[in-house]
A and B are shown apart, each in its own frame.
Chain A
Amino acid sequence: MALARATVLGDDANTGKRINNCELAPVPREELKMIATLEQAHVANSAGTDAIVAGLDGVNKNYGDVRALCGVNFRVRAGEVVALLGPNGAGKTTAVKLLLGLLQPNAGKVRVFGGDPTNPENRMRTGAMLQVGRVPETLRVREHIDLFSSYYEKPLSLTEVLAAAGLEKLSDRKFGELSGGQRQRVLFALAICGNPDLLFLDEPTVGLDVEARRMLWDQIRRLVGKGKTVLLTTHYLQEADALADRVAVINKGEIIAEGTPAAIKAHTAGKKIRCITKLTIDVLRGIPGVTEVKEDREAVELHTGEAERVVRELLARDPNLAGLEVTTAGLEEAFLALTQEKNGNDGN
């Protein structure tokens, strides 16, 4: 299955400064108003034919000289779960904040439900779980939920929200008394309490232990089963794989690949083989299929795309081999591979 390549949007308008190929030119206000109105009219006319609920179109976002997003094209379609996968600092949170109307782009368009994300009516239909440093700790769980529910037109009942977030027994607990996993579930509850059509989850399980993470995944899956649209950001390939229909890989402000989780995983199919062996580095490098050899204290680490073949060879050559471990290559190696490929393709 081919992996769709995202391209950086080439701009023909050549006004303003260029920082790292990202244009910073603003368009005069009157022109903007007219364009926006025409576009709204167009969207209204073609309602129903366009299933895109949110999107970034040629978006640049800079913080001073730092380029957070460059020429990003990204769509979220109705009813799907999309994961934005990338390392820290890739621009995932920036993308989410743009879609939530918390930030304005330096160039390009941000559209949610066919309109501007700062439109209050859009906020009625979206819910957001963001990374928060501090939530008011003296309020109880049910009080937080009660307050947020009041903002929405047709919120879920408190019981429903508590059940959906797995907080039934914690309703009266003050936020400050909760564990990390429980706090994340409260933030999740606040995101879903308004029964939104579109849900943004920014690194929902960061900092959680394995059990808490699995529990939150279950809860997200249950929601997704009800036909909501979800945009999820994460730096865990596993999480994207577990929850998403479609994954967009983002690195350094650019989307470098898009596809199903299976396609992304196949692309990052490199494996690491770790073992304690008497074979020397040179010999190991000579084994067909081995791309790299590293020493790691008393053991060696081999990188390869053909794990089974290499393992067979190792065991044949060294029957006393010990401490054998075979793991998938990390996300960083995968990003490296994807970025190199993209640069290779673009450079031609």
Chain B
Amino acid sequence: MSTATIALGNTRIQRSPAQTTQIYLKEAKYEFLKYLRLRMYTISVLTFPIMFYILFGLVLNSKESIAGTRVPVYLIPSYGTFGVIAASLFATAAGLASDRGLGWLQVKRASPMPPFAYFTAKIFTSFVFSTIVVLALFALGIAFGGVRMNVGQFARLFGTLVAGSLPFSAMGLALGYFTGPNSAPPTINLIYLPMSFCSGLWVPFMFLPAIVKKIALVLPPYHLSQLALGVVGAGTHESAIGHWEALAAFTMICLGIARIGFQRDQEKMYG
């Protein structure tokens, strides 16, 4: 009689906690280095928000205000959100799609690498690059934009924006499981650019047409940017909890989709 194999549960490998930690740290470190050295990534992720901020926040419009908030101040949460989203999406989705589609992830899966280490490394990389973008905007704003806030405000803004990296890392993992190595970058762009526009990350939210404002309510970048803007007093003054809940729900959904992709992948044929 023929029997099919099953996985006999997850028999744990006998690794010391120290060794496991080392694996996670190394995985994270090399994932970060990999992207740091990838000019395509660093340029597109870091330079765009910085360029836009310099152009629209410092060179032009620096004396103007948007609904009571000075432009150089307003644009930090705005472009900061944009930068965090880009950093997180491109650190996760494109790499995952490529690793899956071209066989590299299989090499890692065939090794004793704890699968979770791969994902935490990607999320960690997203956090680090998000941090870099946000701090760069802070530095520019303080140095050239006359942005003056107290330390608490800077800290809250920083915390909000960098925490916002997580929902978009989750989104990147979900996307990465359902796109191919070549289709991933254009798909990411096709999704997050319109999403960002409709959330008021470029044209400030209050100037968007009414119908777009309605759409924005279901867009995660809207919620993140409103939270960030709220720190500098420029948000639409809705309850912060609502935004956090929306982001949390979005994160859960994306992680669920990613998990489905992960399990489906146990079976997929490559090449």
Contacts and interface: CB of A to CB of B under 8 A. Distances in A.
B3 interface: yes
B110 A100 contact: yes
B218 to A, nearest CB: 35
A170 interface: no
Interface stretch (B4-12, B49-57, B59-67): B4-12
Contact of A138 (B38, B98, B103, B267): B38
B112 A123 contact: yes
Interface string A94-113: 10010011111111111000
A100 B266 CA distance: 11
Nearest to B37: A138
Contact of A147 (B6, B27, B271): B27
Interface in B67-105: 98-99, 101-104
B271 A118 contact: no
A143 interface: yes
A101 B181 CA distance: 23
Given A36-B8, A130-B107, A138-B37, A63 B2 contact: no
A118 B111 CA distance: 10
Interface residues of B, number: 44
A206 interface: no
B2 A104 contact: no
Contacts of A97: 106
A110 B103 contact: no
B140 interface: no
A108 B13 CA distance: 26
Nearest to A100: B110
B112 A138 contact: no
A104 B269 CA distance: 11
B267 A194 contact: no
Contact of B6 (A12, A33, A103, A107): A33
Contacts of A101: 110
Contacts of B271: 131, 133
A226 B72 CA distance: 67
B1 interface: yes
Contacts of A37: 8
B4 A132 contact: no
A236 interface: no
A153 B4 contact: no
Given A120-B112, A138-B38, A152-B112, A108 B27 contact: no
A263 to B, nearest CB: 30
Interface string A122-148: 011011101111111011000100111
A174 B39 CA distance: 14
A120 B106 contact: no
Interface in B245-271: 266-267, 269, 271
B112 A194 contact: yes
B6 A36 contact: yes
Given A119-B11, A134-B98, A138-B34, A124 B112 contact: yes
Contacts of A116: 5-8
Interface string A14-28: 000000000101110
A291 interface: no
A292 interface: no
Contact of B34 (A136, A151, A194): A136
Contact of B8 (A9, A40, A130): A40
A106 B30 CA distance: 37
Given A138-B34, A143-B30, A130 B110 contact: yes
A121 interface: yes
Contacts of B23: 150-151
Interface in A21-56: 23, 25-27, 29, 31-33, 35-37, 40
Nearest to A64: B269
Given A126-B110, A143-B33, A194-B112, A120 B11 contact: yes
B6 A32 contact: yes
Interface in B108-122: 109-114
Given A150-B22, A151-B23, A153-B15, A131 B2 contact: no
A330 to B, nearest CB: 24
Contacts of A118: 7
A115 interface: yes
Given A123-B111, A151-B111, A194-B112, A104 B8 contact: no
Interface of A: 9, 11-13, 23, 25-27, 29, 31-33, 35-37, 40, 58, 63, 68, 94, 97, 100-110, 115-121, 123-124, 126-128, 130-136, 138-139, 143, 146-148, 150-153, 174, 187, 190, 194, 200
The 4 closest A-B pairs by CB, nearest first: A133-B102, A138-B37, A134-B102, A128-B110
Interface of B: 1-8, 10-15, 19, 22-23, 26-27, 30, 33-35, 37-38, 98-99, 101-104, 106-107, 109-114, 181, 266-267, 269, 271
Given A37-B8, A120-B114, 5 more contacts: A12-B1, A94-B269, A102-B106, A107-B4, A118-B7
14 contacts: A12-B1, A13-B2, A29-B6, A101-B110, A104-B266, A120-B114, A124-B13, A133-B103, A133-B104, A134-B104, A135-B104, A147-B26, A151-B23, A152-B112
